[in-house]
Amino acid sequence: MTSGEAGSAVHVRFAGVSKHYGTAVQAVRDLNLDVMRGEFLTLLGPSGSGKTTSLMMLAGFEEPTEGEILVDGRRIDNVPPNSRGIGMVFQNYALFPHMTVAENLAFPLQVRRIGKAEIETRVAAVLDMVRLPSLGGRRPDQLSGGQQQRIAVARALIFRPTLVLMDEPLGALDKQLREQMQYEIKEIHARLGVTFVYVTHDQTEALTMSDRIAVFDSGTVQQLSDPATLYERPQTRFVAGFIGENNRLEGVVEAIDGPHVNIRLGSGTAILALAVGAGVARQGAPVILSLRPERLALLSGDEQAHNVLDAAIRQIVYVGDHIRVVCAVDGVGTLIAKIPNRSGLQGLSVGAAARLGWRTEDCLALDP
């Protein structure tokens, strides 16, 4: 490895990587992906999408069928896992049950022949880092799930790797602890500045923690973006449906107006949408419209919006921080609006007529 490669902005590179299982299953298809030095990159997708297989190939527990994986410009797909110098955190923690916390943390240093005094110093330092300074003498079965996960993170970091991989590390935790750990792991990442590659199927987790997110489906990356772009401007129907909640409407392009398209819905109503998919900017093209529930407003009186649909309220659900209003629109179907909870149910009632309004920029026209 040259000094130029070590200083490159690209830390990890997947170059034309594919993974086949026999002749029938292609888990990863021609993956070309750069992980930037010091970033928090999340591989997000449903089960069987290829995200975990990609991580396992980087870790060395799976071998690519085709292509190359490079770290700091050096090919590593032919290097044994224990020689890659990569920290790893698993969903099941993988702590040694017969060892104390301190012994678990010391183990990666002992196999690297680090001196005893240095080991003690580093063990104390990482226990402080994960806010468990007094638990070095306990065994894993004497810890809570959250404490075990903190120790697993500490063990992955104690030998000071520049690259850390995490495979669904919070999957076994309850909701409240899971949310707490998201922020703690993100804080550790920001403090250390090492590269994290993180696998999850949880969209909220990915949006909360990541610098960038690679959305996988059927073995390919559907979109690689920062969280805000991914949520606000999904490029495909799959990404729009997988990231957050989403109203879908079907229509046909009637006219093109710069970046916008005039869409005729099945009810005959015309609306204006932002063209996103490559194939939608042509007259007569069928489109799927993506509209987030929180971007829908219930219009009152003579209040107007860029786009308006008449509806009837079919269901009202009190969620706490917002009101979920399910509306039926003739010729269109069901639309869901999330209304901020500023004053309770705000006089809403099932069966009442309603007017739904939204901005043009919040309605995305995608390839069907």
Banded pLDDT at 4 (limits 50, 70, 90): very low
Q: Is the pLDDT of residue 148 over 50?
A: yes
* Residue that finishes a domain, picked among 219, 238, 257: 238
Q: What is the mean pLDDT of the chain?
A: 90
SS3 content of the chain, % helix, strand, coil (to 5): 25, 35, 35
Q: Is the pLDDT of residue 5 over 90?
A: no
Over residues 174-180, the mean pLDDT reads: 86
| 72-86, 246-260, 273-287: the lowest-pLDDT one | 273-287
* Residue that finishes a domain, picked among 200, 218, 238: 238
pLDDT value, residue 72: 94
Instruction: Report helix angle 101-110 to 116-129, nearest 10.
Output: 130
Please tell me whether residues 181 and 282 are part of one structural domain.
no
pTM recorded for the entire structure? 0.89
Please tell me whether residues 172 and 202 are part of one structural domain.
yes
Banded pLDDT at 266 (limits 50, 70, 90): confident
pLDDT value, residue 345: 63
Q: What are phi and psi of 68, to 5 degrees?
A: -135, 150
Over residues 67-83, the mean pLDDT reads: 92
Q: Is the pLDDT of residue 3 over 70?
A: no
pLDDT value, residue 211: 97
* Residue that finishes a domain, picked among 213, 238, 263: 238
Please tell me whether residues 289 and 142 are part of one structural domain.
no
Please tell me whether residues 136 and 255 are part of one structural domain.
no
Please tell me whether residues 133 and 279 are part of one structural domain.
no
Which residues, other chains included, contact 236 with Cβ-Cβ below 8 Å and sequence gap of 6+? Answer: 222, 223, 277, 366, 367
Percent of the chain predicted with pLDDT > 90: 68
In the numeric block, the tokens 């943390």 are attached to 105
| Range(s) of the domain holding residue 334 | 245-366
SS (H, E, C) 185-250: HHHHHHHHCCEEEEEECCHHHHHHHCCEEEEEECCEEEEEECHHHHHHCCCCHHHHHHCCCCEEEE
- Which pair of structure tokens corresponds to residue 2? 């040259």
Please tell me whether residues 151 and 76 are part of one structural domain.
yes
Banded pLDDT at 7 (limits 50, 70, 90): low
Class of residue 2 by CB neighbours under 10 A (exposed 0-12, middle 13-18, buried 19+): exposed
Q: Is the pLDDT of residue 343 over 70?
A: no
Over residues 90-109, the mean pLDDT reads: 89
Cβ atoms of 362 and 291 closer than 8 Å = yes
pLDDT value, residue 178: 87
Alpha-carbon Rg of the chain, whole angstroms? 25
Q: Looking at the DSSP assignment, which residues form a beta bridge with residue 12?
A: 35, 71
Q: What are phi and psi of 339, to 5 degrees?
A: -105, 125
Which residue from 230, 233, 236 is spatially nearest to 42, judged by alpha carbons? 230
Q: Is the pLDDT of residue 326 over 90?
A: yes
pLDDT value, residue 276: 87
